[in-house]
Amino acid sequence: MIDSTNEEMAVVLAEMRYKAISDLLASVLSKKGGRWTYTDMFDHVFLHKSLGIPIFLALLWAVFQFTFSLSEPFMAMIEIAFGWLGGLAEIGISNPHIASFVSGGIVDGLGSVLVFVPPIFMLFFALSILEDSGYLARAAFVMDRLMYKLGLHGRSFIPMMMGFGCNIPAIMATRSIDNEKDRMITILVNPLISCGARLPVYVLIAGAVFGAKYAGTVIFSMYILGIALAIIMALIFRRTLFKGDPSPFVLELPAYLVPTAKTVIYHMWERGKLFLARAGTIIFGTVIIVWFLSTHPWDATAGGVIIENSYIASLGRFLEPIFSPFGWDWMTAVALLFGFLAKEVVVGTYGILLGVGEETLGESLVGLGLFTPLTGYAFMAFVLIYVPCVATIGIIAKEMHSYKWAAFVMAYLVVLAFLVSGSIIGAGRLLGLS
C-alpha cells in the first residue's frame, strides 16, 4: 500500500517509476568496477536530500559576496572618472544653464547609474559560471520537491533564476511550462525575483548604511526575501485563484563541465549589455526629465542645488505624506515614482536631487539623515517588491493576454510592498532601532 498522507500521490508514483526503472537496469546492465565518476561524487553532494538546499543558499551568498567585493575597485575608478568629467563641465562651460545640464544632468545622473556596471557584470559572470558548469540544473532538481509542496512547478525554477538577470526574458521563458495554471502562477510571482536593475539600489543603500563589511550579506538577504515572498504568493495563488496540483516535473541533468572563459564572458556580455542599452535610452531620458524638473523654474535654483519651489520639489511634497510614516522624505517619493520607468533611475534621481557626484552619493544619503540602517533596509525591500519596470508590466500583459492581469500584478505588488516595508519598520521600532 502507498501511504500518501505526507506526500502528494504524483510524487510517490514518480518515485516508484524511477525505482522500477533502476531495478530493471540493475538486472540487465553490468558495470565494470565500482569506482565513482566525478559526476557521481558531485551529485552525491549537490543532490543530497538534506544538504542540497543549504548548499544552494551558500553558493548564492558567495555569489553576492563575490559581486560586491570584486566590483568595488572598478566602481571607485568609474566614480573618479565621472567626478573629473563633472568638474571639467562646470569649469569649462560659461553658460550656467548648459553647465548645469551637462554636469548635473548628464554626468551626475548617468554617471550615478553607470558606476554600477561592474557589480551587474560581476553578478552575471558568477551566474554564468554556475550555469555553464551544470550546477543550476541540479539546483532546479533540488528545489523541485520544496516548490511542489508550496504550489510551484519544478520547471518554474528556471524562469525564476533567469529573473535574477531580468524579469522580461524570465517571464517569456515560462512558455516552456505546459500547464496553464502553473505558467500563470509563475508569471504572477516572477516580478518578486530581484532583477539586475534593482542591484544598483541595493549596492548604494547597503554600502552607505551598512558599510562594505556587511553590504554583501544585506544584498543577499534581499534576494532571499524575494524568493521567500515569491513562494508565499505562489502558495496563496495556488489555493485561491488557481486551485489544483502542479503537474509532474521531469528534468534531464546535463554533465558537469569546466566553464570556459570564452563562454562565460559571452554569456555575461549578452545579459549585461541589456543594462547598457537601458542606460543609453530609458535611463538617460528619465534622468534628463528629472534634471529639468529639479532645475526649473530656473530662478528657483541656486547653483544647481534643489530649493523648495522647483517643479520636482512640489511633486515630491505632494507624495511625501504617503511615505513619511516609513521615515522617507519627498526625495525618496520622487525616486520611487521615476523608478517605475526603470529601477536604475532610483539611483540617478538621488544623484540629481542631491546635486552630488556618484563618488559622494552614499555619504550624502547618510550624512543628510535620509536613511538609517532600519529605514534603508525597508527602502531596499520596497524597491524589491513594488511595481516592476514599465517594460516588465508590458510583457506580463502580452504573455497573459490581458491588461487586467497586468493591473492586478501592479496592485498586489504595491500592497505587498507597503505591508512588508511597514512590518520591517514596525518590528525595528519595537526593538528600539531608529
Helices (H) and strands (E) in the chain, counts: 21, 0
What pLDDT does 418 receive? 95
Query: Where are the strands (E) in 204-329, listed by range?
Result: none
The CA–CA distances, whole Å, from 1 to 13, 17, 219, 352 equal 12, 15, 48, 69
Q: Would you write out the chain's pLDDT as a tens digit for each of its 434 residues?
A: 444 444 456 666 766 776 777 777 777 766 665 566 777 777 777 777 778 788 888 887 888 778 777 877 887 787 778 777 777 777 777 766 677 777 766 776 677 667 777 877 887 888 888 888 888 777 777 776 666 666 665 666 777 777 777 777 778 777 767 778 888 888 898 899 888 778 888 988 888 888 877 888 898 899 889 988 988 888 888 888 877 665 555 556 677 788 888 888 888 887 777 767 766 666 777 777 777 777 777 655 444 444 566 788 888 888 899 998 998 988 899 889 888 877 877 887 787 777 665 667 778 787 778 888 999 999 999 999 998 887 788 888 888 888 899 999 999 999 999 999 999 999 998 887 76
State residue 59's pLDDT score: 84
pLDDT of residue 378: 94
pLDDT at 5: 46
- The whole-number pLDDT of residue 105 equals 67
pLDDT attached to residue 381: 95
Q: Other C-beta atoms within 10 Å of 416: how many?
A: 17
At 68 the pLDDT is 73
Q: What cell numbers appear for 197 in the block?
A: 536593475
Residue 155: strand pairing partners: none
| Phi/psi of residue 144, nearest 5 degrees | -60, -50
Q: Is 401 left (phi over 0), alpha (psi -120 to 50) or beta?
A: left
Q: In this predicted structure, what is the pLDDT of residue 278?
A: 66
What are 305's strand-pairing partners?
302
Residue 219: strand, helix, or coil: helix
Going from N- to C-terminal start, the domains of the chain cover 52-430
d(C-alpha 173, C-alpha 96), whole Å? 49
Element (H, E) at 192: none
Nearest to 88 by CA among 106, 71, 62: 106
Which grid coordinates belong to 109? 545622473
CA 60/CA 29 separation, integer angstroms: 38
pLDDT of residue 251: 58
User: In the chain, what is the greatest distance between 2 CA atoms, to the nearest angstrom?
Assistant: 88
DSSP lists the bridge partners of residue 302 as: 305
- 411's enclosing H/E stretch is helix 403-430
Count of Cβ atoms closer than 10 Å to residue 57 Cβ = 14
